[in-house]
Structure 1
Amino acid sequence: MIRVCVQYNEYDAIASFDMRGHAEAGPHGQDIVCAGVSAVTIGTVNAIHTLCDVDIVTDMTDAGGHLMCRVPEGLTPRTYEDVQLLLKSMVLSLQAIADVHQAYMTVEIDRR
């Protein structure tokens, strides 16, 4: 099962997300849940880098199954808003996938 945990900061903004596990919803290379989750998360990280010119802090295992991303400090207010919009869109997409494929993934929201 893929577990995505999205952590918000005290200002109700997304501070980081951590994705772990494998969906195992199909054979390797044919797992649509894994493909969808990977496309959404990696696409978001790439969009933040390309569109916002921000190198989001990432940690990922070579074998797959783990991706952690954290929003860096020191962004301008406009860039921070743009990064937040992309991350919020990512969360909505992941929740939509989880709603349809509950047996293979969950999205947890951590509002401290």
Structure 2
Amino acid sequence: MIDAKIYRKDSRLFAFEVSGHANSGPYGYDLVCAAVSAITFGAVNAVSKLCKLELDITQSPDGGYLYAEIPETASDLQKDKASFLFESMLVSLETIEQEYSEFITITNHSK
């Protein structure tokens, strides 16, 4: 099961954490895991390139864990843009959750 945690502060999505494996198919053919990985890493790459912002990232070298956070040192404009890109990522993850809820769960958390 993939557990996606969404973190908000003052209604702004400022971080996310994705852990686990979907196990929806054999290794290398797990479409849910591949989709979640593509969406989350795509969001991280989009923030880096489009916002010119390096996120605070923690990940497992073996896969199965990614935490990304907008740094406090980012400008308000960078925070707004990065949060918007994270919101777009969330919409995609929710689409996967609607079809494959036995393999992914999304929870929201406030700080």
Which bracket does the TM-score occupy, shorter chain normalised? over 0.9
Secondary structure at the aligned position of 1:88 is classed as helix
The share of aligned pairs that are identical, in percent, is: 32
Deviation at 1:14, TM superposition (A): 1.2
* 1:76 match: 75
Deviation at 1:45, TM superposition (A): 0.1
* 1:19 match: 18
Superposition pairs for residues 3-42 of structure 1, below 5 Å?
Answer: 3-9=3-9, 11-42=10-41
Deviation at 1:68, TM superposition (A): 0.7
Secondary structure at the aligned position of 1:75 is classed as coil
- Distance in 2 between residues matched to 1:52 and 1:33, nearest whole Å: 28
Q: Deviations over 1:78-106 (max 9, x none)?
A: 22111111000011110110110001001
- Distance in 2 between residues matched to 1:110 and 1:99, nearest whole Å: 20
Superposition pairs for residues 29-108 of structure 1, below 5 Å?
Answer: 29-108=28-107
- Distance in 1 between residues matched to 2:76 and 2:44, nearest whole Å: 19
Q: Report the AA paired with residue 41 of structure 1.
A: T
- Structure 2 unaligned regions, length at least 5: none
- Distance in 2 between residues matched to 1:51 and 1:15, nearest whole Å: 16
Aligned residue-pair number: 111
- Structure 1 unaligned regions, length at least 5: none
Deviation at 1:20, TM superposition (A): 0.6
Secondary structure at the aligned position of 2:27 is classed as coil
